[in-house]
Structure 1
Amino acid sequence: NQGRFLIEVDKDGGKIEATDKEAEIVISIANLVKLLFGETFINDVV
């Protein structure tokens, strides 16, 4: 049973939520995409 995680990045990039520590990698990716594209919405469940 893999952990579930939820990543939410709003327009301002000020909201990031993770429900699993393994999501830290995804947060890093989300931050990178946010830097590149400025606006990112990621909702993913493993």
Structure 2
Amino acid sequence: MIGLQKWLIDDVLLNSGISQYFSQILMLFAIIFLISFSKYP
């Protein structure tokens, strides 16, 4: 039971870490896209 709880906690932490990392990359791409779009209309 403790192993299952640890696995669930690790899974949630991993998923939240991945989503946070993904949102940062998405924001970076959005900024690059906006800059390049404003430079070359």
TM-score by length of 1: 0.35
Higher helix share: 2
TM-score by length of 2: 0.38
Higher relative contact order (CA 8 A, sep 6+): 1
